Amino acid sequence: MMARALIISDRLSTYEDFRRTLNQYPELSVWVLDASDLRFFELEDNAETPELVILDVLASPTKCLAATARVRALFPKAKIAVRALALWERYLPLILQAGAHGIIDGYTYHSRHAMSMLIDSMMAGNIIYRIQGSD
């Protein structure tokens, strides 16, 4: 069985405290996956796809773009939100074209509390289309 929400990140250390908090609530079904595993990740035939994927690949905009396309191919029915930096402005439309449903401001959502609120909001059906400096 697949998680309801999947966080894919190239900075797993950021999510260690967050992961410990999530493990206290198994009904949340949130998985955290290292982005380097994404190239080799294969969905089992009997596995359910996640409802939500948060992609947090901040190494470079091109890696984020490639990861977005890979996630869309793996999970065609999932909502995909990409955490990006505002300075990637010219890549943001490409990330949406690659299959993301929304862009999350990487500067705004960086604490455990902010990420918890973000996931709660997105699981309720809200996708956030916001980058720094816009309303």
Q: Which domain holds residue 104?
A: 3-36+49-124
Residue 22's pLDDT band (boundaries 50, 70, 90)? low
Residue 8: inside a domain, yes or no? yes
The answer to whether residue 43 is domain-embedded is no
Report, as an integer, the average pLDDT of 48-52: 80
pLDDT tens-place string over residues 96-108: 999 998 888 777 7
Q: Which helix (H) or strand (E) holds 47?
A: none
Per the structure, the count of domains in the chain is: 1
> Mean pLDDT across the stretch 105-127?
66
pLDDT in tens, 67-85: 999 999 988 988 898 888 8
Whether 132 is in a domain gets the answer: no
Spatial CB neighbours of 72, under 8 Å, sequence gap ≥ 6: 80, 98, 99, 100
Tokens of residue 36, six digits = 């380097």
Sign of CA dihedral 27, 4, 93, 127: negative
What's the order of all strands across the beta sheet hosting 5-9? 30-34, 5-9, 52-56, 79-84, 102-105
pLDDT at 94: 92
Distance, C-alpha 28 to centroid of its chain? 16
Residue 79 lies in a domain: yes
41 within a domain of the structure (yes/no): no
Which one is predicted more confidently, 65 or 132? 65
Largest distance between two CA atoms of the chain:
43
By the 8 A CB rule, do 7 and 29 touch? no
> Which residues fall within 8 angstroms of residue 129, CB to CB, at 6 or more apart?
102, 103
Which token pair is 66?
């490639």
pLDDT at 132 over 50: no
- On whether residue 11 sits in a domain, the answer given is yes
Asked if residue 57 is part of any domain, the answer here is yes
Is 130 a member of any domain? no
The closest alpha carbon to 81, from 57, 114, 60, belongs to 57
Query: Contact 5/54 with Cβ under 8 angstroms?
Result: yes
Q: What is the mean pLDDT of residues 107-114?
A: 67
pLDDT of residue 99: 92
Query: The domain spanning residue 114 has which CATH number?
Result: 3.40.50.2300
Q: What is the pTM of this model?
A: 0.73
